[in-house]
Structure 1
Amino acid sequence: MAIGSTIHTFAVQLADMDRGVYDDLALRVAKHPSETDAYMVTRLLAYCLEYVEGIEFGSGISSTDEPAVIARDLTGAVTAWIEVGAPDAERLHHGSRLAERVAVYTHRDPVKVIAPWAGKKIYNAEAIEVFGFDPGFVDQAAGLLERRNAATLTVTERQLYLDLNGTTLSSAVHARPAV
């Protein structure tokens, strides 16, 4: 019998002062058996930092049709294609052709994530941004995970403050172009 996904719930108070986004979110995040805690935390952060009406988690880590986080408008058109981790150039090319906005959030070294894309065909590559966090930030947050989680996420001047289950962490949100 195959092992199923583990469901984690998050009650998130989001205050993104940089974008003027304030909301209380009740999220259920399915963690695939092959997914690391760090990857799941990065997915959660990407969702919150990109939060807009119509955003949702993609269909799963094993899906090739959708990114980790996707946003659609009321017509169903893809407005944001948000990858997590270290996607290949082909996925970014595909997402760039479908969506108005493409971004990558990584818990790894962004320079090492970007390096394999050099010389590869990526539609509108100059518009793609890659976001990373201070070393160790995502791993520290992953160590605080429980099945039921309470989080407050505040962003001001690209500085992220995360209170997760009573422990406060902070990190800059580092942005760099994909090319």
Structure 2
Amino acid sequence: MALRATVYKAELHVADNDRAYYGTHAVTVARHPSETDERLMVRLLAYALWVEADERLVFTRGLSDTDEPDLWNLDLTGAVRQWIEVGLPDERRLLKACGRAEQVIVLAYGRSADVWWSGVRGKLERAGNLQVHVLDAEATRDLAALAERTMSLSVNITDRTAWVSCDRGDVSLDVRSLREAA
């Protein structure tokens, strides 16, 4: 018998001072059985970092579907505006995504993120629409401790630092840019 996804509901209060974006979003996220709380919370953080007023940024089937990213923003014609990957994706997957989307964003995390980047960096040089950002491994572990099935998170973003807070505590995460789009 296959394990089923666990549903998480989050109310995100986003105050992004870097982009002058402020909004509240009620989101429902399915956590794949093989997914950790850390990855789930990084996906929620990615949503807060790149959500826009048009609210077309949505969570996809992610780990359940290899042809979709963790999040994407589609225009009214169905074309992919933003393709957002969380974790340490394969360079072939990223190059394919760069051909399909206007903008591809990677939010890398984990102890081996810098090693991953040094291994794929040269292979991704021609991808002009690719951005790569990394989070500190200790901070994402602390972020995972805030996970609850129903949660209300306040995310304040200033100078590429995200402060995430809720009743269970708060975490500060530096979003370090490894590569900006050309």
TM-score normalised per structure 1: 0.91
Q: Is 2:102–2:129's contact at 8 Å kept on the other side of the alignment? A: no
Equivalent in 84, 87, 91 of residue 85 of structure 1: 87
Note if 1:51 corresponds to 2:54: no
Distance in 1 separating the partners of 2:159 and 2:122: 33
Distance in 2 separating the partners of 1:30 and 1:165: 22
Q: Summarize the Cα distance change of 1:147–1:91 in structure 2 as closer, same or farther, 3 Å threshold.
A: same
Correspondence for 1:174: 176
Q: How much does 1:117 deviate?
A: 1.6
Correspondence for 1:22: 22
Equivalent in 133, 136, 157 of residue 135 of structure 2: 133
Distance in 2 separating the partners of 1:11 and 1:148: 8
Q: Is 1:4–1:32's contact at 8 Å kept on the other side of the alignment? A: yes
Query: Where in structure 2 are the equivalents of 1:132-151 lying within 5 Å?
Result: 132-151=134-153
Q: How much does 1:144 deviate?
A: 2.0
1:163 match: secondary structure = strand
Correspondence for 1:10: 10
Name stretches of at least 5 consecutive residues in structure 1 with no aligned partner: none
Q: Which moved more, 1:95-104 or 1:166-175?
A: 166-175
Distance in 1 separating the partners of 2:121 and 2:159: 30
Query: Cα deviation per residue 1:43-78 (whole Å; 9 max; x = unaligned)?
Result: 111111011231101222131111011111122110
State, as a whole percentage, how many aligned pairs show the same letter: 35
Correspondence for 2:39: 39
The count of residues paired between Structure 1 and Structure 2 equals: 178
Distance in 2 separating the partners of 1:24 and 1:178: 27
Correspondence for 1:116: 119
Question: Which residue identity lines up with residue 161 of structure 1 in the other structure?
Answer: W
Q: Which moved more, 1:51-60 or 1:72-81?
A: 51-60
Name stretches of at least 5 consecutive residues in structure 2 with no aligned partner: none
Distance in 1 separating the partners of 2:42 and 2:116: 14
User: What RMSD in Å do the two structures reach over aligned CA positions?
Assistant: 1.9
Q: Summarize the Cα distance change of 1:98–1:60 in structure 2 as closer, same or farther, 3 Å threshold.
A: same
TM-score normalised per structure 2: 0.90
Q: Summarize the Cα distance change of 1:119–1:173 in structure 2 as closer, same or farther, 3 Å threshold.
A: closer
Question: Which residue identity lines up with residue 50 of structure 2 in the other structure?
Answer: E
Q: How much does 1:124 deviate?
A: 4.1
Distance in 2 separating the partners of 1:69 and 1:124: 23
Q: How much does 1:134 deviate?
A: 2.9
Q: Summarize the Cα distance change of 1:123–1:72 in structure 2 as closer, same or farther, 3 Å threshold.
A: farther
